[in-house]
Chains A and B, each alone.
Chain A
């Protein structure tokens, strides 16, 4: 029972067996190639197709319901196969001769395309193919290749996998497709299929798959994943099983006859067989003749005949060697191809995963969108960017991979163009988004410094703590700086930085600066003013709001607040954070060391690294750690042990104004620029 399809052939609907259609298609293709250089080739092909259609009509008129394989084959036979055609230049004679000159036929008929020469191959026919294409003797290419083996090894493998073999040119030779062999299977026919495809004996791929399981004999002293450069040191890992299972699931089984034929692939070229046998016979006959001659003659002809014999022997040896190395070459091919496919698979997989992750993350940020993107064009750009720029490549790559696996070679040009144009649109929207967003952030407000009234500025120690609202639903998914938490209609941003400076009086002072961006100075000022941030003091604790709220109407425009806490000399200060709160709710301590405005939360140096939960004391030279921090870090603990007397140094002494610590508008302005 065969599948029949309807084709539109020359304006008529013809029911034809699917397999017969394949044959017909390939025939027309090969004709196209044959006449590619011919003037008026379209007309010729047209005429031939017309004739075929006529013959089809006759077949159908006779009462057949559809065109069968037999019909097509008969028609092709009567029309003639391309290789039977005589052409003007008549290079056909060389085709029948020894394989040395076989490459000439290919150069006469079609436009020069690079194929691998299956008839003239040592390992994979790559050098022959290159030689054909360039018109250079393949031997030269081979020599070059061998000399530069280390460099050309990988390109050779790549070319081998990529360049199609010349067996696809001849009509009637189906392309070899990788199938699982349903008939000859031990487990699932994977190895049999592989062996057919590469033309090696069945036991070779079987052995390769089995080796890892017995390789614990070879393995060195550790378990590990097989390291590719050292092929024989597979450890007892399930790697081979994995590959086998993957192949099992991907490869289709060759069930129908046509599939089986395709699996076994290369056209049994009668010409080639005939050639080989004949050349063998010829060389044997020659050898016999020569032998007779040497027996007949002697002396001065000895040298001559020896060289002649050597020549025939070497050419004979070449043919035999060529046959022998076929097997080894195919073995290498098999291994290398698996290697290449494996690597490619891994790369593709990781690319897909990465893109998928990116897509998920950006989609997950969606709720925050309303805080960032204003309506109208910006919204459209944002959606455009998300969908077109990020998701389209993900989807297209996944689709591409699936197609590859399902071996569908059909019209993916349209799909490719669609996806690429969509992605181009995605780029456009990304750029527009960035442009419009940067407009909204263009302006900064006029920074005004406000003094925060402290209830009790003369305490000895100030602990700065952020208020936690236990009732906040802290959605950990949005643990993204600087968004601290996410409420229904507002988001709390904890973009608060604290500067600690030396006070020029003997009491604590706190000042705050509200900063914001906006698309105009007016808007920026407005947004900054709307920032609501409370600071209250309770004895020696300075309670700060965890952050300030931003509504969707206001939008996130890089609002931040800078608090400047001026600590008098001799007084202590500590900023609480860390253990009790999530990372995100820490007030960021921005420290400006004496020299510049490095806004970082450094953790290394004692002098420049200010930590949370560490008590500091203000001295004339700046903040220093006190020794009361023994429960925090080890080195402090050590310090305590070694320097128990340090406290005497910190006597509240001078309160002169240090020029460096001058806390002036200049610094603030500079700070503004920096941000």
Chain B
């Protein structure tokens, strides 16, 4: 039980970063994001995705446009904004620091 908590905490930490990485690569809509995450072996529920995307959009890091589709309702395609890019870069730095730190620590542990 406890470990699941910690695990989910860890995943939650990198969630935004991963999502932003996907969006950075190009215009994408939520369901696609979920698929790509799955392909990268990091499962996310769509229900978690939507609020997150909305928050990012409200914070100004993303924008979207509507694209009509003939098989279903219109879809939102998300793009990163400049502000979002800056935000993303910051996160990237943090991630790098984190990765390095963890690498160092685990190495020392193994020794």
Do the two chains belong together in a single complex? Answer: yes
Interface assignment of A54: CB less than 8 Å from any CB of chain B: yes
Q: List A contacts of B53 (CB < 8 A).
A: 47
Question: Which B residue sits closest to A96, measured CB to CB?
Answer: B1
5 example contacts (A-B, Cβ-Cβ < 8 A) are as follows A10-B73, A40-B54, A50-B75, A51-B50, A54-B75
Question: Which A residue sits closest to B8, measured CB to CB?
Answer: A86
Q: Is the CB of A85 within 8 A of B72?
A: no
A56 CA to B71 CA, complexed, in Å = 10
Chain A 5-26 per-residue mask, 1 if CB under 8 angstroms from chain B, else 0: 0000011100000000000000
Residue in B47, B55, B58 whose CB lies within 8 Å of A85? B47
Interface size on A, residues (CB 8 A): 33
Q: List A contacts of B12 (CB < 8 A).
A: 86, 90
Q: List B contacts of A31 (CB < 8 A).
A: 47
A399 CA to B51 CA, complexed, in Å = 43
Q: List A contacts of B74 (CB < 8 A).
A: 50
Q: Is the CB of B47 within 8 A of A54?
A: no
Q: Is the CB of B71 within 8 A of A61?
A: yes
Question: Which B residue sits closest to A49, measured CB to CB?
Answer: B73
Q: Is the CB of A57 within 8 A of B54?
A: no
Residue in A10, A39, A56, A79 whose CB lies within 8 Å of B46? A79
Chain A residues numbered 146-195 whose CB sits less than 8 Å from any CB in chain B: none
Chain B residues numbered 13-56 whose CB sits less than 8 Å from any CB in chain A: 30-31, 45-48, 50-51, 53-55
Q: Is the CB of A39 within 8 A of B71?
A: no
Q: Tell me the B residues contacting A by CB distance below 8 Å.
A: 1, 5, 8-9, 12, 30-31, 45-48, 50-51, 53-55, 57-58, 69, 71-76
Given A47-B54, A58-B71, A58-B72, the answer on whether A80 and B31 have CB atoms closer than 8 Å is no
Q: Is the CB of A86 within 8 A of B48?
A: yes
A531 CA to B10 CA, complexed, in Å = 101
Q: List A contacts of B55 (CB < 8 A).
A: 39-40
Interface assignment of A35: CB less than 8 Å from any CB of chain B: yes
Q: Is the CB of B73 within 8 A of A53?
A: yes
- CB A43 to nearest CB in B, in angstroms, measures 5
Chain A residues numbered 30-72 whose CB sits less than 8 Å from any CB in chain B: 31, 35, 38-40, 43-44, 47-48, 50-51, 53-54, 56-58, 61
- CB B62 to nearest CB in A, in angstroms, measures 12
A34 CA to B12 CA, complexed, in Å = 18
Given A44-B54, A90-B9, the answer on whether A50 and B47 have CB atoms closer than 8 Å is no
- Most chain B C-beta atoms within 10 Å of own C-beta, residue among A40, A47, A92, A278: A47
Residue in B8, B30, B45 whose CB lies within 8 Å of A78? B45
Q: List B contacts of A96 (CB < 8 A).
A: 1, 5
Given A39-B55, A40-B58, A47-B30, the answer on whether A54 and B72 have CB atoms closer than 8 Å is yes
Residue in B8, B50, B58, B72 whose CB lies within 8 Å of A47? B50
Majority secondary structure, A binding face: helix
- CB A270 to nearest CB in B, in angstroms, measures 13
Q: Is the CB of B51 within 8 A of A35?
A: yes
Q: List B contacts of A488 (CB < 8 A).
A: none
Interface assignment of A84: CB less than 8 Å from any CB of chain B: yes
Interface assignment of A93: CB less than 8 Å from any CB of chain B: yes
Q: Is the CB of A44 within 8 A of B71?
A: no
A81 CA to B75 CA, complexed, in Å = 22
Q: Is the CB of B46 within 8 A of A43?
A: no
Q: List B contacts of A93 (CB < 8 A).
A: 5
Interface assignment of A82: CB less than 8 Å from any CB of chain B: yes
- Most chain A C-beta atoms within 10 Å of own C-beta, residue among B1, B46, B47: B47
Q: List B contacts of A50 (CB < 8 A).
A: 73-76
Q: Is the CB of A82 within 8 A of B72?
A: no
Q: List B contacts of A39 (CB < 8 A).
A: 54-55, 58
A90 CA to B4 CA, complexed, in Å = 13
Q: Is the CB of B54 within 8 A of A54?
A: no
Q: List B contacts of A48 (CB < 8 A).
A: 46-47, 50
Given A10-B73, A11-B73, A51-B30, the answer on whether A79 and B45 have CB atoms closer than 8 Å is yes
Q: A38-B54, A48-B47 are in contact. List 10 more A-B contacts (CB 8 A).
A: A12-B73, A43-B54, A44-B50, A47-B53, A53-B72, A78-B46, A80-B46, A80-B48, A92-B8, A93-B5
Q: List B contacts of A92 (CB < 8 A).
A: 5, 8
A523 CA to B1 CA, complexed, in Å = 94
Q: List A contacts of B1 (CB < 8 A).
A: 96, 278
- CB A320 to nearest CB in B, in angstroms, measures 23
- CB B61 to nearest CB in A, in angstroms, measures 14
A54 CA to B72 CA, complexed, in Å = 5
A82 CA to B47 CA, complexed, in Å = 8
Q: Is the CB of B45 within 8 A of A80?
A: yes
Q: List B contacts of A51 (CB < 8 A).
A: 30-31, 46, 50
Q: Is the CB of B47 within 8 A of A80?
A: yes
User: Lowest 10 CB-CB distances: which A-B pairs, in order?
Assistant: A80-B45, A80-B47, A54-B72, A57-B72, A79-B47, A47-B50, A40-B54, A79-B46, A93-B5, A44-B51
A475 CA to B97 CA, complexed, in Å = 103
Residue in B48, B51, B71 whose CB lies within 8 Å of A57? B71
Q: List A contacts of B72 (CB < 8 A).
A: 53-54, 56-58
Chain A residues numbered 309-365 whose CB sits less than 8 Å from any CB in chain B: none
- CB B77 to nearest CB in A, in angstroms, measures 12
A39 CA to B30 CA, complexed, in Å = 19
Question: Which B residue sits closest to A27, measured CB to CB?
Answer: B47
Q: List A contacts of B69 (CB < 8 A).
A: 54
Q: List A contacts of B5 (CB < 8 A).
A: 92-93, 96
A100 CA to B71 CA, complexed, in Å = 49
A96 CA to B47 CA, complexed, in Å = 21
- CB A32 to nearest CB in B, in angstroms, measures 12
Q: List A contacts of B76 (CB < 8 A).
A: 47, 50
A90 CA to B11 CA, complexed, in Å = 12
Q: Is the CB of B73 within 8 A of A54?
A: yes
Chain A 543-560 per-residue mask, 1 if CB under 8 angstroms from chain B, else 0: 000000000000000000
Given A79-B45, A96-B1, the answer on whether A54 and B31 have CB atoms closer than 8 Å is yes
Question: Which A residue sits closest to B2, measured CB to CB?
Answer: A93
- CB A13 to nearest CB in B, in angstroms, measures 13
- CB A56 to nearest CB in B, in angstroms, measures 8
Q: List B contacts of A57 (CB < 8 A).
A: 71-73
Q: List B contacts of A47 (CB < 8 A).
A: 30, 50, 53-54, 76
Question: Which B residue sits closest to A93, measured CB to CB?
Answer: B5
- CB B36 to nearest CB in A, in angstroms, measures 15
- CB A274 to nearest CB in B, in angstroms, measures 9
